[in-house]
Amino acid sequence: MRGGGIRVLRTIIARRAGFCFGVRRAVEAARSAAPAYTLGPVIHNPRVVAELAALGVLSADTPEAIPEGARAVVRSHGVGRDTLSRLEKRAGQVCDATCPFVARIHDMAREAESAGLPLIVVGEERHPEVEGIRGWTNCQSYAVADEAAAMALPAMERALVVSQTTFIAERFESVCAAIRARVREAQVRKTICPATRDRQQEAVRLAQSADVMLVVGGRESSNSRKLFELVGKVCPRSHFIEDAREIENTWFHPADLVGITAGASTPDCTIKEVAARMNDIEKQ
């Protein structure tokens, strides 16, 4: 405890750590559909992917790579219109586990198409969610992840602007400011998932009071990497880990307050193992 007495290592786990609604829904859909195929890993977490593979849920890169007539699952990231059409023609049954928040952005992309408006997605160009969103309009579309990319956009009279659901809220505002310098009339829809926003805000608050932060998530998880970026700005002693085995005793001092948060694709069992490992270190 701080300010006198016996000073011991303490650990606080963020309340909003681990699976979000959309990811949990997609994983449960994949388990129920087994044996089945998903387009890309159902979530960016190697442990969960391996557990699903043991049940017969395998990953394919394209609809054509799925055996004809097999059962298929659309993961939470969603897919574009053409990809979904190809999948429905190839598979015997398609379970669409697209996150409802992502599906809502697909509706907006179709809305932009109907109005003849260019679509600008604030997010990572090669992220599957962004690729899927852009796949729901036949009009011109762009993906911009930072101010520099926004300033490189061609000049436009009008455009519809949406966001990747896991984008950092503060950065979204600055990127949109740059977009407005290139688009005379930008219709901005802030489509960041509320759960993502709350998770990020809670993680930053925890990092502001913690001596050490642990961010638990898959290396390929976009939202986990963003969490690590955010907490690292306010807590220099932050570490990005996939599981409890990566924790090193040398990261901690006896009087430290350790904060733990986790990305939306991190299963509860992994968080519990990290907490158990920290309990062992506290006892030492």
Question: Do 129 and 77 contact (CB within 8 A), yes or no?
Answer: yes
Packing angle between helix 222-234 and helix 194-209, nearest 10 degrees?
30
Nearest partner of 97 among 52, 44, 39, judged by Cα? 39
Question: Do 191 and 163 contact (CB within 8 A), yes or no?
Answer: yes
Number of Cβ atoms within 10 Å of the Cβ of 110 = 15
Question: Do 157 and 128 contact (CB within 8 A), yes or no?
Answer: no
Name the catalytic one among 125, 129, 147, 202.
129
Number of Cβ atoms within 10 Å of the Cβ of 127 = 18
Question: Which amino acid is located at 56 in the chain?
Answer: G
Task: Give the three-class secondary structure for 61.
Answer: coil
Confirm whether 129 is a catalytic residue: yes
CA 130 – CA 46 distance, rounded (Å): 22
CA 256 – CA 236 distance, rounded (Å): 13
Residue 252: C-alpha distances to residues 241, 242, 258 (Å): 15, 18, 8
How would you list the strands of the sheet with 10-13, edge to edge?
A: 10-13, 257-262, 212-216, 238-241
The strand pair at 119-122 and 93-96 is best described as unpaired
Nearest partner of 90 among 36, 162, 142, judged by Cα? 36
What backbone phi and psi angles, to 5 degrees, belong to 51?
A: -65, -40
Q: Catalytic amino acids? A: 129
